[in-house]
């Protein structure tokens, strides 16, 4: 009987000690998380205590409260109008990038993506302009100049740099809307006729292809040379012409005699014989002077000889 009473007493004592210790852990953990003002602390030690504590588990309400701390006062946030512009800019940025990737090979950056670039450019001009939107709000400072990185400015200029290096402005007319120039359209039509001729005869005798497609290829080549002279070439036309020339010369082993070859040979021959002509003319000119100098001496000697003969007689 006495033994049973001792066991019950020790069991009651152990349970009391466990409850006391558990209560201290809960109180200590809560005091680490909540300061005197009643706000949740965001220190790493407090967050680690919540996650790693075997007693106190993080509640969804607590994590939600931590996330709410990322919100800034209303006067520091961008306006709804600027936020909408930023959203539109992001959508059109993605659209333009998605157009550029398939247009990498063969290069069709200007002819396939000019409409998406126009939309992106219009949105950026709205952001960077001094015009104000609803509530007299300008988005230039809040979206372009509010931080050191200037991410919107950097993103747009990277894509604009691709447009500039592609020289798309030479193939695109901007007024009233972005569109291909008449020269570009005419070149693409001539290119299609030339490639159609290649496709028609490439399965047969290559000599037949070179003969029947020579006129079309020569017309395309002459058109390209004229556009190059007038500086109306963009990367699309340059790449298309390079690929066509590669087909004509390497794949089909064709050659087109150039009309200016005779003139080049004539000029080269003239330049080659020019030094010979120069030295020959110099030699003849010097001999002529030499004769003029010697002739009076001979005449004088003859006169002296006649005088001597007269004296002797």
Residue 307 lies in a domain: no
Could you tell me the residue range of the domain that residue 210 belongs to? 182-251
Number of structural domains, the chain? 2
Q: Please tell me the distance from the alpha carbon of residue 127 to that of residue 141, in angstroms, as a whole number.
A: 9
Q: Please tell me the distance from the alpha carbon of residue 32 to that of residue 56, in angstroms, as a whole number.
A: 12
Per-residue tokens: 95 = 């659209």
The CA-based angle 92-67-53, given to 5 degrees, is 140
Shared domain check, 147 and 76: yes
Residue 281 lies in a domain: no
Mean pLDDT of 114-126: 95
Which one of 135, 166, 197 terminates a domain? 166
pLDDT in the model for residue 270: 65
Shared domain check, 132 and 206: no
- pLDDT surpasses 50 at 273: yes
Residues 126-168 pLDDT 10s: 999 887 767 677 888 889 988 899 999 999 999 999 999 999 9
**pLDDT-based confidence at residue 42 (cuts at 50, 70, 90):** very low
Shared domain check, 20 and 84: yes
Shared domain check, 139 and 188: no
- Please write down the HEC assignment for all residues of 11-70: HHHHHHHHHHHHHHHHHHHHHHHECCCCCECCCHHHHHHHHHCCCCCCCHHHHHHHHHCC
Q: What's the pTM?
A: 0.60
> How crowded is residue 241: how many other Cβ atoms within 10 Å of its Cβ?
20
Residue 261 lies in a domain: no
**pLDDT-based confidence at residue 65 (cuts at 50, 70, 90):** low
Shared domain check, 230 and 155: no
Shared domain check, 69 and 17: yes
- pLDDT surpasses 70 at 247: yes
Shared domain check, 115 and 36: yes
Mean pLDDT of 291-310: 55
**Range of lowest pLDDT (20-34, 166-180, 223-237):** 20-34
Shared domain check, 206 and 124: no
**pLDDT-based confidence at residue 305 (cuts at 50, 70, 90):** low
DSSP summary character for residue 180 = E
Residue with tokens 């395309």: 220
Residue 176 lies in a domain: no
Shared domain check, 237 and 157: no
Residues 83-93 pLDDT 10s: 999 999 999 99
């Amino acid at each position: 009987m006495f033994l049973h009473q001792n066991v019950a007493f020790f069991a009651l004592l152990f349970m009391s000690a466990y409850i006391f210790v558990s209560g201290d852990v809960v109180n200590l953990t809560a005091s680490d998380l909540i300061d005197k003002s009643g706000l949740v602390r965001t220190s790493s030690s407090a967050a680690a205590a919540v996650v790693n504590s075997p007693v106190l588990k993080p509640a969804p309400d607590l994590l939600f409260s931590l996330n709410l701390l990322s919100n800034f006062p209303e006067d520091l946030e961008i306006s709804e109008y600027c936020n909408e512009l930023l959203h539109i800019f992001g959508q059109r940025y993605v659209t333009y990038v998605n157009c550029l990737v398939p247009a990498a090979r063969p290069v069709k950056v200007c002819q396939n993506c000019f409409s998406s670039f126009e939309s992106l450019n219009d949105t950026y001009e709205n952001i960077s302009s001094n015009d104000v939107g609803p509530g007299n709000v300008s988005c230039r400072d809040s979206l372009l100049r509010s931080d050191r990185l200037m991410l919107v400015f950097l993103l747009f200029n990277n894509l604009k740099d691709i447009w500039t290096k592609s020289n798309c402005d030479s193939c695109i007319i901007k007024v009233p809307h972005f569109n291909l120039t008449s020269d570009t359209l005419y070149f693409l039509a001539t290119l299609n006729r030339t490639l159609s001729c290649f496709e028609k005869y490439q399965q047969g005798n290559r000599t037949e292809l070179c003969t029947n497609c020579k006129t079309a290829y020569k017309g395309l080549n002459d058109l390209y040379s004229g556009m190059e002279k007038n500086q109306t070439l963009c990367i699309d036309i340059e790449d298309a012409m390079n690929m066509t020339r590669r087909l004509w010369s390497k794949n089909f082993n064709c050659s087109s005699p150039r009309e200016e070859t005779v003139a080049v040979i004539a000029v080269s021959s003239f330049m080659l014989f020019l030094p010979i002509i120069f030295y020959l003319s110099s030699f003849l000119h010097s001999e002529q002077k030499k004769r003029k100098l010697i002739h009076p001496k001979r005449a004088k000697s003859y006169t002296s000889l006649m005088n001597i003969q007269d004296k002797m007689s």
